Amino acid sequence: MDLQGGNVVGIGTDICPIERIASARTRHGQAFLDKVFTPAEQKLCLAKGDPDASLAARWAAKESVSKAFGTGIGEALHLTSVEILEGPAGAPVVHLDTKGSALLRAHGGTEILLSLSHDGGMALAYVAIIQRK
């Protein structure tokens, strides 16, 4: 994470109980997954050793991005507007759809840095919107 030559223009964090995601998957199945996660996110998470922890971390990341934008999840930013995949080294990477990209530009941001963690039944995400000079 190189912040040299950049300013933080927004931050967001969220915590999600892993059991909440597991329960939603049990109750609503594929409909829940399709409403919240992109096909690429589903493929990535469902291949993990603990899919619910990976899904919960991505839920927290989506919420964190929405908080950093100051919009929350809703009309301005849908859950699937924010996609959390992995970069070449396995670190989480944020991809935005058209709505998300417009919000990033409106905030003067040029990139989003993300950290994910899960332990003790909880998943956590922290986001910083960065403006590079």
State yes or no: pLDDT of 1 exceeds 80: no
Topology of domain 6-132, CATH? Ribosomal Protein L22; Chain A (3.90.470)
- Calculate what percentage of the chain has a pLDDT beyond 70: 96
pTM higher than the cut 0.85: yes
Cα–Cα distance measured from residue 106 to residue 100, given in angstroms and rounded to the nearest whole number: 10
At 53-110, the pLDDT tens digits run 999 999 999 999 999 999 989 888 899 999 999 999 999 999 999 999 999 999 999 9
Break the chain into its structural domains and give their ranges: 6-132
Instruction: Tell me the torsion sign for CA atoms 33, 91, 111, 107.
Output: positive
Alpha helices in 12-122 (DSSP H): 18-36, 39-46, 51-69, 98-106
